[in-house]
Amino acid sequence: MPAASEPGAPALPVTYRPLGPRIVGIGLGLGLLVVFAAAWISFGPDVRARFTFFQRSTLVFLGVLGFGAIFALVRSRVDAERERLVIVNGFRRRELAWEQVVSVRLPPGAPWATLDLSDGTTVSAMGIQGSDGARAQQAVQQLRAIAADPPH
Is it the case that residue 60 has pLDDT exceeding 70? Answer: yes
* Angle of the 19-42 helix axis to the 53-74 helix axis, nearest 10: 160
Query: Per residue in 82-132, pLDDT tens?
Result: 999 999 999 999 999 999 999 999 999 999 999 999 999 999 999 999 999
- Domain positions in the chain are 9-17+77-148, 22-73
Question: Which helix (H) or strand (E) segment is 24 a member of?
Answer: helix 19-42
The chain-wide mean pLDDT, for the chain, equals: 90
Which pTM value belongs to this model? 0.80
CATH architecture classification, 9-17+77-148 = Roll (2.30)
Are 21 and 131 in contact by the 8 Å Cβ rule? The answer is yes
